[in-house]
Amino acid sequence: MDRILIRGGNVLRGDIHISGAKNAALPLLIAALLTDEPVTLSNVPRLADVSLLLRILRELGAETALAGRKAGESPFTGDTVRIHAPEIVSTTAPYELVSKMRASFWVLGPLLARCHEARVSLPGGCAIGTRPVDLYLKALEAMGAEIDIEAGYVIARAPGGLKGARIVFPKVSVGATHVTLMAATLARGETVIENAAREPEVSDVANCLMAMGARIEGIGTSTLHVTGVDRLHGAAYPVIADRIETGTYAMAAAMTGGDVLLRNARADILDAFIEVMDEAGVSVTEEKDGLRVRRCSDALLPVSVETRPYPGFPTDLQAQLMALMTRAEGVSTIRETIFENRCMHVQELARMGADIRLNGDTALVHGVEHLTGAPVMATDLRASVSLVIAALAAEGETELNRVYHLDRGFETLEKKLSAVGADIERVSG
């Protein structure tokens, strides 16, 4: 199994290219199942999760082709993926594949909308909480689907097709919004989705669906109106820049007192994060080609943050912020309100000398003068990258194990970081 070795202490300086967002690319690839014409997505990140999803789409009958430059080439222009599903040959998404990545469960929406039936394994994914699917199933039932759970599979049928409905989500869910939105594009009549997730990746999918001929109003707001159409057509669409990768490298730069330009990054989808950085004494400013990140002072200042659905502070940046705050001058309060088990990085950060006191969903992070390199273990995608941020400022060497978590969501992480001066290498075996 691969490991990553990091020797801390180097200051990061230079440019990092921000890739397309994993959390947009996955549902966009899935949305391509809604049409029998080709959908061509550009700026798709090369990630283990994308490869796995393409495998699942092929099982269902889609043809997939990759084109474009690879990451690390200069200039990086992103990658292009063409998905063409002229015919859905299977409406079953098997356990062996879906259990490896939660987002693949979302094929349920297009399969049901296009084929009027689907058999999809209940999902797996990161071990960050129980992550139920009740909201998805209730929404599809409201649209006329009959749903049974048998032997770990969701069996959904909508003889005669889905019909429009008014759906009020009791809780904001990104995945349930994606699935309901995709399903509604081909349903008969109007669907209103209230308390919809407003994440930029949801809007990205909605905009792509519009390019495919869907009729959607209210994109970017918490109420989406979808008027079903008989069929969708092909489209070419670029994946939005990854705001989580942007925030992660911004905090990596801030941790080392560096000065980094995040090329292709967008400030308008990171307001809450930029405000927190400001409070921490880190300046994030817009430039022509992206965002520049610099520390404004020698010391990092403590912050008080709660994770919230967009436009709030993203849960996917919580672990990285906690790592950054281990070196702040004072005590930070970080509360996780989205997932109940998303603090597994606390123990690993403690192995590096961090002083974090966890009380329920709230962590009190007491800044320390030094972190020390140590062997640590990645437990989930975002937690693992928080250990990388800590390691960049730690004295000595950190050995990060189970890096397959990182490969799921960060494209060529060690190349991007070593290009701006980090002492980081991947060791195979």
Chain residues in the site for ligand UD1 (CB under 6 A): 23, 26, 102-103, 129, 131-136, 171, 173-176, 201, 315-316, 338-339
Residue 343 annotated to the active site: no
Side-by-side strand order, sheet with 190-194: 166-168, 190-194, 223-227, 215-217
CB closer to ligand UD1, 3 vs 131: 131
Q: At its nearest, how many Å lie between ligand UD1 and the CB of residue 112?
A: 16
Q: Which is nearer to ligand UD1, 57 or 424 (CB)?
A: 57
In the numeric block, the tokens 């430039």 are attached to: 287
For ligand UD1, the closer of residues 207 and 256 by Cβ is 207
DSSP code per residue over 42-91: ES----HHHHHHHHHHHHTT-EEEEEEPPTTSSS---EEEEEE-SS----
DSSP E strands, 243-396: 259-263, 282-287, 290-295, 304-306, 331-335, 355-359, 362-366, 375-377
CA distance 135 to 117: 18
DSSP letter for each residue of 213-281: T-EEE-TTSSEEEEE--S----EEEEPPB-HHHHHHHHHHHHHTT-EEEEET--STT-HHHHHHHHHHT
Among residues 175 and 234, whose Cβ is nearest to ligand UD1? 175
Of 175 and 367, nearer to ligand UD1 (C-beta) is 175
Active-site entry in 126, 208, 296, 343: 126
Distance CA 353, CA 390 (A): 10
C-beta separation of 341 from 312 below 8 A: no
C-beta atoms surrounding 151 within 10 Å: 8
CA torsion angle for 416, 263, 207, 222 (degrees, to 10)?
Answer: 90
- Please state, as a whole number, how many other Cβ atoms lie within 10 Å of the Cβ of residue 86: 12
CB of 128 to ligand UD1, least distance (A): 8
Residue 9, sorted as left (phi over 0), alpha (psi -120 to 50) or beta, turns out to be left
Q: Which is nearer to ligand UD1, 26 or 214 (CB)?
A: 26
Report, as residue numbers or ranges, the catalytic residues. Answer: 126
